[in-house]
Amino acid sequence: MKIGIIGCGQLARMLALAGWPRGVQFSFLAGPQEDPSPVMGLGTIHRLQEGDSAESIYQGLGEPDVITTEREQVEVALLASLQPFAPVFPQPEAVSICQHRAREKQFINDQGIATAPWQPVTPQTDLLALGHELGWPLFIKSCEDGYDGYNQWRINGPDDALPTLPEGVACIAEGGVAFERELSLVAVRARDGKVRCYPLTENHHTAGILQHSLAPAPALAEGLQQKAEAMAQRLLNAMNYVGVLTLELFLVDGEFKINELAPRVHNSGHWTQSGALTCQFENHVRAIAGLPLGPTDAPLPAAMVNLLGVEPPNPVICPDAKLHWYNKAVRPGRKVGHLNLTHADPQQLARQVSELVAILYP
């Protein structure tokens, strides 16, 4: 089995590392300016050139049996052009929905699932009036190319300075949601339609970027896992989706609102490498390759701490942590690696995470 991956980042790296023990071979499509360091040595790297045909890309990838992507911000036309040569999962139609905020939120609402209140906006929109209608704080987000806090603006109230929205860039406005917790559900759907879900994960962010996760999410009310899984099943089936899909969730008054979807393996699921019987990366490989899904049970409480522009700490500080390094140059705020931890006592695990965070981000 040969799998071609669109992209050369850390997610592509971890997909390949998870697939190698199963005898899967990998190749990677690098953008014209993309740094392929994370996947060096893990398979053939084909550099995309202007004017490349779909056939030449397919051949440059070594004629893979199936093609996937490590990111949602990928040209849907490129994915669609490769379909005559090999199955592409997740399907281009699903990626198209998830890479555009307005399409995504409308799709979620059309399935009868709640999101934060939202509306499309233009540079001419009266943001003050919209803030009073949707609720403060008001968040303005570009429909595309908005992640980890980029291309997003927060207006706390009517006295705040209003952002100047870029011309020609589609945006939406979201009303503020008084959420109790930020959670995520990593789900995977196989080619035969079978679905498995990992335990809900509690996520903590800094400056819009995930800093650490705890799984299973501590002290969840009864029935929330089942509610989240039912939402995932509905969305996956509606898209006829194949592979890993992540639901980013707000918990509000005991109910879920979906913040956004990620059509790929996800940062908040990295803990599965140490904490689940089958990690999210292996299950994505299994799903797209047509293999049976592995169990998603979590035998022990687990956690993940992102390394955001920092070197890993001395192993003596937390000797049981598993380091995953992405072979990237360290720059402020850049995701360069992560640490996974497990412990039978969730309170002890939470203390270890707090201590690590204090050391890494004093």
pLDDT in tens, 74-123: 999 999 999 999 999 999 999 999 999 999 999 999 999 999 999 999 98
What average pLDDT does the segment 275-301 reach? 98
CA angle centred on 197, ends 194 and 199, rounded to 5°:
165
Per the CB < 8 A criterion, the answer to whether 339 and 308 are in contact is no
pLDDT in tens, 153-174: 999 999 999 888 888 889 999 9
Per the CB < 8 A criterion, the answer to whether 188 and 89 are in contact is no
**Is residue 228 pLDDT above 90, yes or no?**
yes
Question: Considering only CA atoms, which of 144, 176, 177 is closest in space to residue 160?
Answer: 176
Q: What is the pLDDT of residue 148?
A: 59
> Phi/psi of residue 82, each to 5°?
-85, -15
Across 92-112, b (16+ Cβ under 10 Å) vs e yields bebbbbbbbbbebbebbeeee
Cα dist from 355 to 289, 318, 333, whole Å: 40, 9, 20
Measured between alpha carbons, how far is 157 from 240 in angstroms, rounded to an integer? 41
Share of the chain above pLDDT 70, in %: 99
pLDDT in tens, 173-218: 999 999 999 999 999 999 999 999 999 999 999 988 999 999 999 9
Q: What is the pLDDT of residue 48?
A: 96
